[in-house]
Chains A and B, each alone.
Chain A
Amino acid sequence: MWRRTPSFILDRTSTSPPMAADTTRAPIQNPDSISAYYQTRAAHHGVITSEWLSQAQAAVGGVSDSGDEHPVSSLTELGNEKSFNVIEEFNSWRKQPDLAEAVAAIRALAAVIRASEATTMMELEIELTKASDTLKSWDTTSISLTAGCDLFIRYVTRTSALEYEDFNSAKSRLLERAEKFGEISCKARRIIAMLSQDFIFDGCTILVHGLSRVVLEILKTAAQNNKLFRVLCTEGRPDGTGVLLSSELSKLDIPVKLLLDSAVAYSMDEVDMVFVGADGVVESGGIINMMGTYQIALVAHSMNKPVYVAAESYKFARLYPLDQKDMAPALRPIEFGLKIPTKVEVERSARDYTPPQYLTLLFTDLGVLSPSVVSDELIQLYL
């Protein structure tokens, strides 16, 4: 009764879960389960709490259950085997800490292509679409997963339009591009690092929130180019990203200072620019990122400090959140160190949405973009 948000997704999930009548689809994540995407990120960061552990085990048990449900309810002959394999494949790729989420998705889809017995492009496309839908519905909270799948499917449908008379050569080309995507992802990080070098000047102070591998690459390159700068890291509860980032940066001899998340406004006047990564870039040009990014962007904007976002282009997603709650909820367990009475609710969302007016520039492998360019790129791709 306290909720006054106009967003309808909450109403949908709270009032009509039985609306998911067709059992052929994978079960919708109910609001109380843990977001698999953030689970994986936490695993990368090595953050393990006892609560997380128990919930992770429960979640894994839940996944295999849902995995078993799949083949029972699936009506197509496309393999129960196939859909289960896709998710397994995806998870195995996702576990690697250095691999981007979208790369894992595309590798999984490449595995589908390899295992496919289709003889025409249409059939292959249909199989891929099914596999990608499975992946997407398994973890609705991961934006780069959705975006990566969509990008690959679009690429497949467009490749088939080019004149490849031979199906096998087309298939092998698709496989090759999918394999190459991992390299594209690494190259993208390097391009972004190169583009952002000019924006870091000697003697500047950079505020960083969250542990983005792209931002880390940017700072590493700047240090290698012998630029003098110092970094303020927010603590990044509950992931503890601040401590991890500061240990990485101190290895590179960059002066680092740790801040409490609440100390950002206090320190904002000595900051010259804010660098954040993004879990996803939405159509409006805003970003979805770790909880706390919106807060920092608001403070930076009010003090006229530029906020720079470093994101690869495959994170552009066809979402348009109208407010903070207008996304699929992504929850993660939060440790407070003390026992919380059961009547007390905890805000467990793992991410927030930063609207485009608080962002200055986006550094992507497509170049330095202002937030309004994002929708243009997406339109070119999807329309």
Chain B
Amino acid sequence: MPDVQSMVAEFVNKLRKRKIEGSQATAKCTVELLRSVISHQRVPHANQAAALIDAVKAVGQQLVAANPVELAVGNVVRRVLHIIREEDLSLTTAAMAGLDLLDASDDDDIDNCKGIGYPAMSAAVVAAAARSTLRPPSLQTLLEGTPESATVPYTSSSGADSESKTADKSSLTRKLKHDVIEGVNQLIHEISGCHEQIAEQAIEHIHQNEVILTLGSSRTVLEFLCAAKEKKRSFRVFVAEGAPRYQGHLLAKELVARGLQTTVITDSAVFAMISRVNMVIIGAHAVMANGGVIGPVGVNMAALAAKKHAVPFVVLAGSHKLCPLYPHNPEVLLNELRSPSELLDFGEFSDCLDFGAGSGSLQVVNPTFDYVPPNLVSLFITDTGGHNPSYMYRLIADYYSADDLVM
């Protein structure tokens, strides 16, 4: 336990100092950390799932507080919580299916959850009720209310009879943890493989002799374009340089190295060049529940330009970037202001910036992110395929549980 604490503290430190760059790397590190937390967590015999959930939530709250702007952290914490709930549910339904068989046959001391003595309620009812608690609330379940039977799977049996029961419990415990860790490993695999999954779809969207516009530098976009290039599509790329970090220059270098014809333009030239462009492809930092996109600063401008000239605006995002929260005031709350030294040289402007002398009144604002409202986005390409912005809520309902939204 203590070494898990130190791992958590170290990671929190890294997050606070913004030492980890990129949402994919952050997401992977977070999931790996949570995996260690889960495997080191000692769970009680009863309510193992609840104990795991509490442990993960506690760590998750610390991580999110360390870097609230990096939404991928919160996303994967919620994914892990959802995995725990799902595994627990499938175990209990399997247990009850076992119980059903047992009731049909004779009740021997078969080493199979016999000890969990449920009242005479049909297994199907309980399963249905438990299923409904896991899915987000819907019109179908509106009248069913909160089924008390859902708590029955959680509370272990009261009348403890034999040692076979304790053997059951420990095997159940191990099973749950094992399943959860398997699920978490699958999540890590998914996060690592998101670039390939997205790049596979490139060939459907990029056609011969097209002109693509992109902004800044995103590894997803790079892989996407190169995949299309490998499938023998010939197209041109305009890269907006993405001031003040000028990461567009790096992207342009990479693209040229892979043999793509590239043109570098300034951010201010986007509107001028947009009419000669067939498609705008952008990598997102995060995608919000309403379909809005948080991207590097300048994408809102590109999106507005694309809308004005009816150019499709495509956003690439791995599933770890899907955030179940709604953006209220994202320009302020989900943004980070970086050092003004990236914009201005301290030496030249020192007299304007000097507030002490009384003459200084120059302020420099250097936001990192931009918010694009959902009506400007034409298509989202995630590792599961291409989707409409109005469909994002559906993916979010699949990946996350409603109880985890507020941690």
Contacts and interface: CB of A to CB of B under 8 A. Distances in A.
A155 B393 contact: no
A159 to B, nearest CB: 8
B141 to A, nearest CB: 9
A313 B136 contact: no
A314 B393 contact: no
Interface of A is mostly: helix
A335 interface: no
A117 interface: no
Contacts of B290: 361, 368, 370
21 contacts: A151-B139, A151-B142, A152-B143, A154-B140, A155-B144, A163-B122, A180-B145, A181-B143, A184-B143, A198-B326, A198-B328, A366-B138, A367-B136, A368-B289, A370-B393, A372-B391, A373-B393, A380-B138, A380-B139, A381-B138, A381-B139
A158 B394 CA distance: 24
Interface residues of B, number: 25
A367 B144 contact: no
Given A155-B142, A198-B326, 15 more contacts: A154-B140, A155-B143, A162-B122, A162-B124, A163-B124, A177-B143, A313-B142, A314-B139, A365-B142, A367-B136, A368-B290, A370-B390, A371-B390, A377-B138, A381-B138
A376 B139 contact: no
Contacts of A266: none
A380 B140 contact: yes
A275 interface: no
B125 interface: yes
Given A162-B128, A163-B124, A201-B329, A313 B390 contact: no
Interface string B141-154: 01111000000000
Interface in A220-273: none
A366 B291 CA distance: 18
B328 A366 contact: no
B402 interface: yes
B74 to A, nearest CB: 15
Contact of B291 (A154, A180, A368, A370): A370
A368 B145 CA distance: 19
Q: Which of A181, A367, A369 has the most CB of B within 10 A?
A: A367
A378 interface: yes
A199 interface: yes
B258 to A, nearest CB: 38
A350 B125 CA distance: 44
B402 to A, nearest CB: 7
A369 B124 CA distance: 30
Interface string A347-383: 0000000000000010001111111110011101100
A177 B328 contact: no
Q: Which of B139, B291, B326 has the most CB of A within 10 A?
A: B139
B98 interface: no
Contacts of A377: 138-139
B22 interface: no
B259 interface: no
A366 B139 contact: yes
Interface in A20-39: none
Interface string A310-325: 0001101000000000
